Structure 1
Amino acid sequence: MICRLCGSAELESVVDLGATPPCERFLAAGQLDEPEPTYPLHLRVCRSCLLAQIPPLITPEDTFTEYAYFSSFSTSWVEHARKFVDQAVAKTNPEFVVEVASNDGYLLQHVVAKGIRCLGIEPSVNVGASAREKGVPTQTAFLSKETGASVRAEHGPADLVVANNVYAHIPDIQGFTAGLRELVKDDGWVSIEVQHMLSLVQYNQYDTIYHEHFQYYTVASAQRALASNGLHVVDVELLPTHGGSIRIWARPVESEPSKAVGFVLEEERKAGLHDMSGYQDFARHVDEVRQNLLRFLLGAAATGKRVVGYGAPGKGNTLLNHCGIRPDILPYTVDRNPYKHGKFTPGTRIPIHAPERIAEDKPDYVLVLPWNLRTELTEQLSYVGEWGGRLVFPIPTLEEVRP
């Protein structure tokens, strides 16, 4: 394996999660007797540039041409996007906004509402169609240098380019970053949100390692990646989203970084993420998460308690596959996205139902797989407490909560 950022062959293993199917490749009932391909899920860190990465064994085209994730099904995520738009418009005063990986228009709908010209670039045909139904102009494409140049030629350069939760999803870092540079004005802004490697390591968030995520960033490694194509990090914000993310502000014009950039870089250094020391115990902590969850599920089954799941996110499928959880101890999970109803989780073959199933069955425990939406889902699932049920959050450590 060669580092996709700097080309070094010196990559060191952090955690090996075995082989799993792609996390968003849900199965229809007719596919349950068919073979299912799996791919290694092995996180390594480059000793030269310290980019954390997995092998690029599947392509974005395999995952994102037809996609099961619609951002708007998370109420808190839509609200997060609305607040970001308010802040970004005040910060950059844009006349033209482009969002890369714009999904179903969850963010740009707020830009449209402000009367600001905008364009979404979304590779998934089905998801982009949903955005257009909301009145969000959307082009179906993957971002590359050529795509960026084409959009710029047709629509003009953007004052603000947004790339939220996509910078980890592309194996061609150089080509994607070149595309960002093509899109943005020479004095414009690029805003990137991505999960922070610091949070992933500190809080055992290993379930966010899956084949859609080709790399995992510190601010230090993001600086190197952006600088490779003329974008300079000028500010950073720490966000609670996805268990701990960073919002990076970059510009083509080099300027003195804010104090926040220096602060986060120092926090990363103290955690040992600017060398290899901070990764040494991660695999052991991953094993502890698996053992605790299996101990709980097997104990519940032995005492006649029923556990069902809530959510069918990509991260949940990493967790279910790594722990070897099957329908005998988790008979089903539910999800708000109708696209997933009647389908089965990849690898583990757990059926997915509509959320109403929980109230009908009144289980003893609900295992919350999208734990990063804890506040939102604790409120949504408050009715579980009516029959004495409890919510179970598996990460960072197993916790039972009476809603």
Structure 2
Amino acid sequence: MSSTSQCRVCGGTVNEFFDFGRQPLSDAFLEPDVDLDGEFFFRLATGLCADCTMVQLMEEVPRDRMFHEAYPYHSSGSAYMRSHFEGLAKRLLTTELTGDDPFVVEVGCNDGVMLRTLAESGVRHLGVEPSGGVADVAAAKGIRVRKSFFEESTAREIRAADGPADVIYAANTLCHIPYIGSILTGVRALLAPTGVFVFEDPYLGDIVERASFDQIYDEHFFFFTARSVQQMAQRHDLELVDVERLPVHGGEVRYTLAIAGARTPTPAVADLLAEERARGLADRATLDGFGERVLRIRDDLTALLRRLRAEGKRVVGYGATAKSATVTNFCGIGPDLVSTVVDTTPAKQNRLTPGAHIPVVDAAAFADPYPDYALLFAWNHADEIQAKEQGFRAAGGRWIRYVPEVRID
């Protein structure tokens, strides 16, 4: 049964449009025979605010359950993403960080992949990171890190100690934070008069277009569009002044906010707003159509995996990603259909995937021996992975993809 909730941005009514059912914490990989009884589950459902058009989760998972000392994701794990963040840092050095003694703050700096380039260039910086393990990795690289969640009180303390920020940056972080009002009030308090808040997150337009439903999981609370970000910014004396489409993580947008009136919005803002209107991204009918495609993918994927099992084929998963939790639990995929998941992250290896309890093994096991099929959970890194795993294809292996539809490559 669909339900309503209160919008975490504007207080309006959020109307549910899709329910993924009972889901675990997406990054809570379990020790066999130890953690299974205490596993945390919640209802994963999405809704649309009737007033500000923000798409968001209907239920919030407590933040300390998701982001903690043992949080396993490292931004530096992908060579492509390292290049992405280094490129942004170099751009900021020639655009926003050219004044005397510029100061940059990154919200959710993870292992310091972006700040490292700025630190090596002598830029005054601070990373704010609540997940202690990855914060320690950043600190070991020479990054100045504060182990805490970013909110209004944090921002005011930083301003008092370090002065205003010329750039506040966040990558794949802002969409994680339900208490968004405190964040933006803090951003407004910390920004220099001509400073910018730059953040990049998964784009609802790409999720809808590609039916990439696995972008929806506990850590992703908001699903932004230019329109909903514009509405959100205006509530905090901020203004959306630029947008940039990004190919990373299955499609993102980099949004730039400034203090209202401080900068002239670029034409890209009006262009993306017009495109969203034409596509009906804020229309319930569009989101219902997305839901229908998701159900079709679920049915096609499970039918394929059951057929391969009946034929005696071995299927393994590739990439123990956070988003794979949505796929396995929503589709009912367990070790009977996918025997193991290979992953390069030591913290995930020799554990079980959340909810579905599929064993996670070292990526070296992928070729020992190669399976018949590999279900590509890390599809957003497909080019990088397939270039690395050419031996799998040469041995007759086939990739199973499910975005934007189920197919065998």
TM-score by length of 2: 0.95
Structure 1 residues 32, 330: CA separation in 2 closer, same or farther (over 3 Å shift)? Answer: farther
For the pair 1:16 / 2:24, whether they are aligned, the reply is no
Q: Alpha-carbon deviation of 1:35?
A: 4.0
In structure 2, what is the Cα distance between the partners aligned to 1:388 and 1:242? Answer: 28
**Cα offset, 1:381, TM superposition:** 1.7
> 2:6 maps to which residue?
2
Determine which of 194, 204, 218 is the counterpart of 1:211: 218
Contact 1:47 1:276 in 2 (8 A): no
Name which of 62, 79, 84 aligns with 1:80.
Answer: 84
Contact 2:152 2:185 in 1 (8 A): yes
Question: Which of residues 210, 223, 231 is equivalent to 2:230?
Answer: 223
- Tell whether the 8 Å contact from 2:52 to 2:232 is kept in structure 1 after alignment: no
1:351 & 1:234 partners in 2: Cα distance?
A: 46
Q: 1:155 & 1:63 partners in 2: Cα distance?
A: 29
SS in 1 for 2:309: helix
CA shift, 1:123, in A, is 0.5
- Aligned pairs for 1:17-166 within 5 A: 17-31=20-34, 33-66=36-69, 67-94=71-98, 95-166=102-173
Q: Quick one: which of 240, 253, 258 aligns to 2:247? A: 240
Count of paired positions: 400
1:358 aligns with 2:366: yes
1:280 paired with 2:288, answer yes
The answer to whether 1:259 aligns with 2:267 is yes
1:57-80, CA deviations, whole angstroms, 9 ceiling, x for partnerless residues? 312122102311111111111111
- What letter matches 1:126 in structure 2? G
Give the whole-Å Cα distance in 2 for the aligned partners of 1:48 and 1:243: 28
Cα distance, 1:37 vs structure 2: 2.5
Shift of 1:364: 0.8
Aligned match of 2:321: 313
Comparing 55-64 with 355-364, greater Cα deviation is found at: 55-64
Unaligned runs of 5+ in 2: none
Aligned to 2:272, what secondary structure does the other structure show?
Answer: helix
Shift of 1:253: 4.2
Let me know the Cα RMSD of the aligned residues: 1.3
More divergent stretch after superposition (225-234 vs 140-149): 225-234
The whole-number CA distance in structure 1 between the counterparts of 2:389 and 2:368 is: 13
Residue 295 of structure 2: SS of its match in structure 1? helix
Partners in 2 of 1:193 and 1:35 — Cα distance?
A: 34
Residue 388 of structure 2 is matched in structure 1 by 380
**How far, CA to CA, are the matches of 1:30 and 1:133 in structure 2?**
34
State the shift of 1:274 in Å: 3.3
Secondary structure, counterpart of 2:196 in structure 1: strand
List 4+ stretches of structure 1 deviating above 4 A: none
2:336 pairs with one of 328, 340, 348 = 328
Mapped partners of 1:153, 1:314: distance in 2: 36
C-alpha distance in 2 between matches for 1:258 and 1:374:
32
Taking only the aligned residue pairs, the percentage that are identical comes to: 34
**Structure 1 position 275, deviation (Å):** 3.3
8 Å CA contact 1:199, 1:243 repeated in 2: yes
Question: 258-267 vs 376-385, which deviates more?
Answer: 376-385
Tell me the residue number matched to 1:304. Answer: 312
Q: CA deviation at 1:286?
A: 0.4
Deviation, 1:256, is 2.9
Q: Which amino acid aligns with 1:165?
A: N
What per-residue deviation string (whole Å, max 9, x for no partner) do you get for residues 173-206 of structure 1? 1001112222221111111101111111111011
Residue by residue over 1:245-299, the C-alpha shift from the partner in whole angstroms, topping out at 9 and shown as x without a partner, is 1001111142331110011111111111233332121111001111121121111
- TM-score (norm: length of structure 1): 0.96
1:56 Cα offset (Å): 3.7
- Aligned equivalents of 2:38, 2:255: Cα separation in 1: 41
